[in-house]
Structure 1
Amino acid sequence: MGSSPTFVIVGAGLAGAKAAQTLREEGFGGRVVLLGAESERPYERPPLSKGLLLGSTQRREVYVHDAGWYEANDVELHTATRVTGIDRDARQVVLGDDERLGYDKLLLATGATPRRLAVPGTDLEGVWYLRTLADSDRIAEALTDQAHLVVIGAGWIGLEIAAAARQRGAAVTVVEVADLPLQRVLGDEVARVFADLHRSHDVAFHFGAEVLRLRGSGRVSSVLLADGTQLGADTVVVGVGIEPNVQVAEAAGLKVDNGVVTDALLRTSDPHIYAAGDVANAYHPLLGRHIRVEHWANALNGGPAAARSMLGQQVEYARLPYFFSDQYDLGMEYSGWAAPDGYDRVVFRGDPAVVADRAPEFMAFWVKDGRVLAGMNANVWDVTEQIQALVRAGHGGRAVDLARLSDPRVPLDDLLN
């Protein structure tokens, strides 16, 4: 690097903004350029499907930094700026107007894009995907107590939108190709808890269902399923997963496989280029495999980890995957990693049954050969540290007594003693 190096960050979301902040906090005195495709300054995405839809979060609360922070910290923030290419030989990024910007180190925090539903009618008015602040604003406007909402996809985003819509008084139907919501992520036992929770709030489900087309004249009016069922709808939200934004990385010849592939220091196949957040398929030293994590905590922590790596610090990014969700009166946190076929049982601590419309209080642990691979706490708080200790021990090969694991009288701390 020269006397005054330039670090460029492509992607002005949470990961990119936190990387810029960390560079300055770690004493980096060179040029920091943060390039964002959206017209907004960096903001956090969880409120988009939670507080903003409910009206419990104010718009000003979602931004990562105050408007003046970037200038005050000498971070050159360029919004509404699209990066169209990377010239690795010249160490330059190419912008949408063919301008070129040189870099000494480059961080790709380009995030992801909602997967599109490939059926006729998705271009009708009233059909939305949720990824941006503008998307959240449009969906919130539609969630009146007269609305008929169909949510396609029963993943986290779909269920959070369904919960917000019901709390706003809309009629809600959820369509899902699997047999249960969140089935692939949580497995049948815990997925049933979420199905029961939503049913207790009068959400209608169509499982094992395939969408054939969306119908309407100008605006969507119904959703036609493959079995001939027709669902009335004046608003449709599609939540069928996201695709990492790898196009620029792939065109530049970086190694791409379900995201931009990195090592545990978040370095890509080019020694001058790093990746973090939704787009990074990073090697996890504890799990012994590459994983791509699409959740808030990964952006929050991965951006700073990449920044330290860009500065030459040899610190592996080994945080456990962590995410949270709020639906009705159920708040949950999940820590760890359990592949769909990677565990042999789920151990519950507490009763997961939904009684009337009241959310339960419980913990669930995904276990293989007595080793805890992942844990969830639902309406039980201040246990994340203990659950993560169990998960780290489990992935490290240490088993626990499952009878004691399921016994609420046994402190979680005692299970590793």
Structure 2
Amino acid sequence: MTSLNDCRDRDAADPLAPLKNLFDLPQGMIYLDGNSLGALPRAVPARVAQVVAEQWGRDLIGSWNSAGWFDLPRRVGDRIAPLIGAGPGEVVATDTTSVNLYKVLSAALTLVEQDEAGQGQSKQGIAGSTCTPRRTVVSERSNFPTDLYIAEALCRERGWNLRLIEPHEVQTCLEPDVGVLMLTHVNYRSGAMHDMPAVTAAAHAAGVLVIWDLCHSAGAVPVDLTAADADFSVGCGYKYLNGGPGAPAFAWVHPRHVARCWQPLAGWWSHAQPFAFKPGYEPAMDITRYQCGTQPIISLSALDCALDVFTEADKLGGMAALRSKSLALTDLFIELVEAQCPGQFELITPHEHAKRGSQVSLSPKGTLPSDSAYATVQALIARGIVGDFRAGDAQQPDILRFGFTPLYLSYENVGMAVQGLQQVLVNKEYALPQFTRKQAVT
């Protein structure tokens, strides 16, 4: 079994170890929750202070031009683009994931309807020609709830159907009535990762458009939307991109689709001539048409600064190196849990590297009470080991969820985290009243 000294030796040989110094992490904390909220990059407070005191406080409205505020969503999008396999001018950092999903899903529904209308006109007069209307959006039942809520609302509004499936049904669900497949690349509960190129190819072969949510992928695992020939994508800026709570999200639309239809939130920032102030809407011909209204410049500036960390990571091997360390960290965590807490947890996250994101999810089993996940996480937090809990239901168990961000986590962190978990079990701290689900403060 790997010892703490072995972990320290691995840290000493880790070429990415200097990146941890770019973050301001609380002393004595092992932070395994970067898949919910990324840690604070050290340079961000000074950048925000400069934007507030100088750009806003001193230069006021002049900063729209002198500081380039109006172009900031596009510039930040260009910095995210290499992390998700997009080209320059193809990504915009704007709004929230939910709002961006509403935009791209609405656009996808419109494209399907437009294509059907065109096909219908071309078949007029042909005896016996029939075509099943594509009026179904397919997504996973375990997808992140906001994605499902947005899809449900749009389907109700547009007269479409929402069909929920299990992960193993993804490539067998593409029936003639399906128009759009909406998936999260890495599942927020299990950490399971889809084969994006294979799923996208299967969908396109069936005449289905694909939307990918990259909230648990961008900055954590290599993504290549262009190579996968995806249609639309959205993602957030506050998890592995470390942009801060509520950081702007991003949207990507394949260039072949950008100018084919309006997105529904036609605000002035998406206008072809936003400062002409014309009464009629003329959408921009590029990705800026997926903006809406005035953007949160301070938050965008924080995200812009946070992305400097990836510039430094590029000097040390970029996303390939980060992915290699992520897999090594998660492999080590799984190994140590199985060795030090034998028979006490079921691994929910896939063992296979190709199917795993950058997190590990466990559910209690063996002698552990099935409802002990919450209390176990709370006991760990009390020890300075921060993971998180996700409640289950009739179909899914409660889980302990741990995110592994290779930018600032060490192998020693992993070893100490599992030692802490072992002590929680040995001491039965999960049974202490201050950690029970009813009494603990979340």
- The question of a shared fold, defined as TM-score above 0.5 by the shorter chain, is answered with no
What is the TM-score of this pair, normalised by structure 2? 0.28
Structure with the largest fraction of strand = 1
Structure with the largest fraction of helix = 2
Which structure has more relative contact order (CA 8 Å, sep 6+)? It is 2
What is the TM-score of this pair, normalised by structure 1? 0.29
